[in-house]
Chain A
């Protein structure tokens, strides 16, 4: 008989090994999938993982990895703080949208004024916007005990309606011939989140993501607040006895993750995207949830996971055009990553027992 037996202590070896095993299992199962689609599995896997990093056009793809990975890391860092404490912000996508709208709103209101403080003001507005949007589920939870998972998720759809309304109305480009979408901030120097060093992909959002990783690391390992977060996640009752206020933690975790998601939205709208458009959000807020878990809710892990996720996106697009793999196959490949991680993760807390039942 095969049974799962709970470990007295989570296994450290499994905890660190699970992401690596998950990647390996994804490569194997993905290879099999590509094989059945009539492609050379080795070539397909190499295209996804090798081509963007070391291929002929790596000079173009490496910067793209930063552009694609930065918002994922920035959002996932914020989410991981809450997830560690059992506070589930599922609505980062909405906070991302509102952050972008607030930041872009400041720029569009000032257009065409070119002043040095414009971009810092946009950054502030972006963070505030995301923070405020996340405060809605936070306050509803602390005041009325609502479920933050549902409220934050539902607010994504509200934010999407706002986005559509802004693209079609208030923020519409007056020189856009009636088409939806704002002015392009890439053509507005004071508001443009340009690359800090040309052709490196390194824009302010990438820098912010790296800083957030360091801050989160220090917070979690060196600061009392980080201790409160960890202990609340591990043993909520013990946390209350040690003087942690659950309500303040909810406010802090949702607020921080909202502000970081808002920042990610601002950096995106002012930089790579350039415009407020109806389809501005492409799912970073949801993908970041995968990134946070793939990175074990650890700041350094999240940095690596964000890079890996960006790699599969960019490599996946290359595989589509060079090998003719369908987009759905790439999405299955990405989905398998989380699936295997969750499956293998069971062994962190449980061990497999084969044979007869031992005496308890």
Chain B
């Protein structure tokens, strides 16, 4: 019975083969296919530009009978709200945004939890004390990641210095490789990235003696070195749960922001390029975050301008984190405006 099938659509900002952000969303889609089998039909469109093009693609999916549509990029926010208003019976799930409606939920992951583990390893591993960071866009999510990594690198290595390059793209192998090379030329022997391609990994491999971390996806093909660990986005459990909710008729609009604990953020295998004691500490940090025993933004912390942010033992609230637009004390440079 074709009518009984639940149809789930996915709108992707990059190609499914990007090996990062979109790849992991598509892995989530494939998990839905595997979990539900014939009960669910999935469709997707890749490389969809943000703006009117995405609005058209979403409308097309809704017209074609989709029951649930995942829109997987921040820039799809207003288009998602527009289309959702026209199709009140279709459920929408927008990743990383803040606008909701009766039939629009939002979801995101606490990637900064993974950044804390990365920062710890990076601080311990660097010999030049210079850590390079490829930022995509200066938006709260990325700034949170930089702050979290810096705080935890500084904690284990007070001499550490961060050099940040803004690539102004989520996925552009050529630009990302250039950014990585610039950072390595400036003496960075650890390169962290908030962009989705494996190009920085390749650049680090070529330079030798530089370590990196997989972003969004495990990027295990670059293990054991340069890639020593990774942050893995694991959307599968969420996608399966939300699809199930639509099938059961229990779907409700909500905001989900999950981290390592519920399994939305995974820490990829830490390779043997990392000394055993550092690895053990990193795993302990991961477990402490997962259990909720430790929060990566715990005071005392000051803002870059020296003003107080969090008092001793105080933990950052989600509202501040969601809109984070300042560096913590010690980071150089300004957030581009």
Contact = CB atoms under 8 A, between A and B. Distances in A.
**Most B C-beta atoms less than 10 A away, residue of A68, A184, A321, A331:** A321
Contacts of A275: 51, 78
B48 interface: yes
A179 B74 contact: yes
Q: How large is the interface on B (under 10, 10 to 19, 20 to 34, 35 or more residues)?
A: 35 or more
Contact of A180 (B46, B137, B324): B137
A273 interface: yes
Interface in A308-360: 313-314, 317-318, 320-322, 324, 326-328, 331
Contacts of B64: 57, 321-322
Contacts of B9: 321
A317 B60 contact: yes
A219 interface: no
Nearest to A275: B78
A164 interface: yes
A212 interface: no
Nearest to B324: A178
B75 to A, nearest CB: 6
Interface string B68-99: 00000011001000100000000000000010
Given A168-B337, A320-B45, A321-B9, A280 B56 contact: no
B336 A277 contact: no
Interface string A241-282: 000000000000000000000000000100011110111101
A265 to B, nearest CB: 12
B304 to A, nearest CB: 15
A67 B60 CA distance: 15
Given A179-B140, A327-B45, A279 B56 contact: no
Interface string B30-55: 00000000000001111111111101
**Most A C-beta atoms less than 10 A away, residue of B44, B53, B64:** B53
Given A169-B337, A277-B75, A278-B137, A64 B323 contact: no
Q: How large is the interface on A (under 10, 10 to 19, 20 to 34, 35 or more residues)?
A: 35 or more
13 contacts: A60-B59, A60-B60, A68-B52, A164-B336, A165-B336, A178-B324, A278-B168, A279-B50, A317-B48, A317-B53, A320-B46, A321-B45, A321-B57
Nearest to B136: A278
Nearest to B326: A178
Given A178-B140, A278-B137, A280-B51, A317 B75 contact: no
A68 B46 CA distance: 18
B98 A179 contact: yes
A317 B55 CA distance: 12
Contacts of A180: 137-139
B15 A328 contact: yes
Contacts of B52: 67-68, 268, 272-273
Contacts of B59: 60
A177 interface: yes
B61 interface: yes
A327 B75 contact: no
A282 B322 contact: no
B322 A321 contact: no
Contacts of B46: 320, 326-327
